Amino acid sequence: MRLQDYDTQTQFQAKVVATKRISPAESPDEVRELVLDVDRGDFVIEVGQSLGVLAPGQSEFGQEKHFRLYSVADVPERLDGGQLRLRVCVKRCSYIDAYSGEEYPGIASNYLCDLRESDTLILTGPYGLAFEVPAEPKANLILIGMGTGIAPFRAFVNHLYRGDTGFQGRVFLFHGARSGLDLLYMNEESDDFAQYYDNSTFQAIRALSSRPSWSQRIDWAAALESRGEELWNMLGESDTYVYVAGLEIIRDELDKVFGKIAGSPEKWARRKAELEAGRRWIELVY
């Protein structure tokens, strides 16, 4: 679906309650977490869904607003006053003009990253399907989050373990971000995932790049292949669900790795088709 086809008619005003850089100081990538309070109580959004942001545009070029989507990065909180408190995690993006080769700042991500406490912004949504907790209480969940794709999984894992979901299955989280964003969710200060380490059913497997060179690509293949046999066995079980989030290139990368793990690309294509048909392969890619 193209961005212009989304319905942005219903708009909500939100206020920035907090904004902080969450990528390590040494990382060249800036990722910020924004805490937003939505003024209207009728705005409802669930884990796995995305909200729309209407960033101001240049009206002289006929573009008054730029619409972009951002994943909910934690379980939404209902405040005493009825407002909804949301967290999003935004990477400051830039793009290279194909003709001039020049670099331009991304419109909405820079707008969001430049917002300060008490600033207001316009949201729309929600969009997309919520991540459902599988009906089978002992289901296996394989979560694969690349870059900012870890944000919806942070929300999902918090929902699974902190919420009243009755979930008793296993969670395998594969994650990696060049920005160091993943380290944030894993370090002692902001230990969202660390608090689940004691839980024998939760495992976080980090796809490393060789630091300190931040430009190194994340080695997804190695991380997944290191657990190849286990993954392949799980993928053969009827209560295994795979969730994938991040930039679109993750699709091709995963097809290559799983093709290897499966023994051949054809074998993997068949297994993936079965997972998709059973709605056990869920993607949030952008």
Ligand X SMILES: Cc1cc2nc3c(=O)[nH]c(=O)nc-3n(C[C@H](O)[C@H](O)[C@H](O)COP(=O)(O)OP(=O)(O)OC[C@H]3O[C@@H](n4cnc5c(N)ncnc54)[C@H](O)[C@@H]3O)c2cc1C
- Give the binding site for ligand X (CB under 6 A): 50, 66, 68-71, 89-91, 93, 95, 106-110, 128, 147-148, 151, 247, 284, 286
Residue 215 DSSP label: T
Residue 109 or 140: which CB sits closer to ligand X?
109
- Closer to ligand X by Cβ: residue 106 or 180: 106
Query: Where are the alpha helices (H) located in 19-162, listed in sequence order?
Result: 107-114, 150-162
Which residue stretches of 185-264 are H helix? Answer: 220-225, 228-235, 249-262
Distance of CA 195 to the CA centre of its chain: 19
Shorter beta-carbon distance to ligand X: residue 198 or 252: 252
Gyration radius (Cα) of the chain, Å = 19
Q: How far is the CB of 261 from ligand X (least distance, A)?
A: 26
Nearer to ligand X, 171 or 284 (CB): 284
Residue 241 has phi, psi (to 5 degrees) of: -120, 135
Residues 6+ apart with CB under 8 A from 64: 56, 57
Question: What backbone phi and psi angles, to 5 degrees, belong to 125?
Answer: 120, -165
Q: How far apart are CA 198 and CA 172, in angstroms?
A: 14
Residue number of the CB closest to ligand X reads 106
Q: How far is the CB of 2 from ligand X (least distance, A)?
A: 11
CB of 148 to ligand X, least distance (A): 4
CA distance 109 to 127: 18
Q: What minimum distance in Å lies between the beta carbon of 226 and ligand X?
A: 25
Nearest distance in Å: CB 237, ligand X: 28
Shorter beta-carbon distance to ligand X: residue 159 or 262? 159
Residue (90 or 186) nearer to ligand X, CB: 90
Which strands form 202-206's sheet, in the order they lie side by side? 202-206, 170-176, 140-146, 240-246, 281-285
**Smallest distance from ligand X to CB 8, Å:** 13
